[in-house]
Amino acid sequence: MRFIVSTSLLLKQLQAVNGASSSSTVLPILENFLFEIKDGILTISATDLQTSMTTNMLVESKEDGKVAIPSKILLETLKTLPDQPISFSIDDSTFSIEISAGDGKYKLSGENGEDFPKIPVVENASSVIMQASVLSEAISKTLFAVSNDELRPAMTGVFCQLSPEHITFVATDAHKLVRYRRKDAKSDSATTFILPKKALTLLKSSLPIDETNVSVEYNSTSAFFRFGNINLICRLIDERYPDYEAVIPQNNPNKLIIDRSLFLNCLRRVVIFANKTTHQVRLKIAGSELNISSEDIDFANEAHERLTCQYEGEDMEIGFNARFLIEMLNNLGGEEVLLEMSTPNRAGLLMPQTHDEQEEVLMLVMPVMLNSYT
């Protein structure tokens, strides 16, 4: 089997799917790309058995065939080569590979492409079309709140609720929660599933930034994303997602409106002086004044800052983990944010002050107990 291709085009395609490959000690073949040529089209696949990605491109080739090529050595070689035609010659009996580029010749050992795991296909699937920019925004707004706790597998992914009215994405780690809803993305039928974190991370880095349509197909076990010449398929997390609506407090009479960047930068400074384990900051609100403070008793460190805000409600004092607030403010858009609270021991709700008609973002953060409320 022999084919010729451009180094830069091949490198771009390999980098697009490389994240799906695995450095598995149990199945070493997962450290390879599968190259499959049929009728002059090269299909490249990578998988870790849970998530798989494929892409295809035109190449110069007179014969069909398949071979598994070690991903790391191939990527490192292509990164150092200038943009030029590169030819691959594969021995069909030993699967040894000879690469010729300019004046250089490189040899490496491949494996039988037939031994590479079969890339699954989604059967009996339902589908929905979403714009790449909408899907990318949904992933960005929720991924940071996903849990890393393997003991609660349902929370290690993003929960997707599809309905004829809207599509909702939810992520939580029990300390913070994000609900992101789009009214301009809808499904014919109502369904729910949980997408794993790795697949969404790969999807986010691969999605184009324009208005390309992404076809999302799904059944009871897998989801399949198709856009451009990239296909990504992942196994869904087969768990029941917690009833997140039950933890969102409905009655929040205390409403604070503040400039997002001022609040964010203030928290970044104040948290430097907070306890390194709890990252606790104290918010004391009275009238139109917000006092933010932190202290680390062990090192006699403390910080106090005062900001002007719009506030409606009773004077109150509440504690939060500043790192959670910082993450949320980083992922919220808009100039001003609204923080809704009820009591110092109930969750606070953070959202943009101005609403987009098609987009609804709600972030919930659990409070931390302060030593005393004065």
Res 357: pLDDT: 86
Question: Is the domain covering 2-115 a CATH 3.10.150.10 domain?
Answer: yes
- Average pLDDT value for residue range 51-55: 97
Rounded-to-integer distance, Cα 152 and Cα 272, Å: 31
Tell me what pLDDT residue 315 has.
96
Stretch 249-278: mean pLDDT, rounded? 96
No. of helices (H) and no. of strands (E), the chain? 6, 27
How far is 349 from 365, CA to CA, in rounded Å?
7
Strands 289-296 and 280-286, how do they pair?
Answer: antiparallel
- Consecutive H or E run containing 89: strand 85-90
pTM of the model: 0.92
Cβ–Cβ < 8 Å for 51, 20? yes
Percentage of the residues of the chain whose pLDDT score is greater than 90: 92
Q: Could you give the angle at which helices 132-143 and 197-206 cross, rounded to 10 degrees? A: 130
Average pLDDT over residues 73-81: 97
Residue of 280, 283, 284 whose CA lies nearest to 296: 280
Burial of 94 (0-12, 13-18, 19+ CB in 10 A): exposed
Higher pLDDT, 34 or 369: 34
Joined together, the tokens standing for residue 372 give 């005393």
Angle separating helix axes 322-331 and 260-270, nearest 10 degrees:
150
User: Is the Cβ–Cβ distance between 44 and 55 less than 8 Å?
Assistant: yes
pLDDT band at 183 (very low <50, low <70, confident <90, very high): very high
In this predicted structure, the answer to whether residue 169 has a pLDDT above a threshold of 70 is yes
Q: Which fold has domain 126-245?
A: DNA Polymerase III; Chain A, domain 2 (3.10.150)
Q: What is the mean pLDDT of residues 228-250?
A: 96
Domains 126-245 and 248-368 share a fold: yes
Provide the phi-psi class of 29: left if phi over 0, else alpha when psi is between -120 and 50, else beta: alpha
Give the pLDDT band (50/70/90) at residue 121: confident
Q: Is pLDDT at 105 greater than 50 in this prediction?
A: yes
Tokens of 364: 């919930």
Query: Which tokens belong to 164?
Result: 């004829």
Class of domain 248-368: alpha beta
Q: List the domain boundaries for the chain.
A: 2-115, 126-245, 248-368
pLDDT in the model for residue 364? 98
What is the distance between the alpha carbons of residues 360 and 138, in angstroms, rounded to a whole number?
Answer: 11
For 153-191, b where at least 16 C-beta lie within 10 A, e where not — what string? eebbbbbbbbeeebbbbbbbbebbbbbbbbeebebeeee
| Cα angle: 187, vertex 120, 70; to 5 degrees | 125
pLDDT band at 206 (very low <50, low <70, confident <90, very high): very high
Cα 177 to Cα 70: distance, rounded to the nearest angstrom: 40
Q: Mean pLDDT for the chain? A: 95
Name the pLDDT band for 374 (thresholds 50, 70, 90): very low
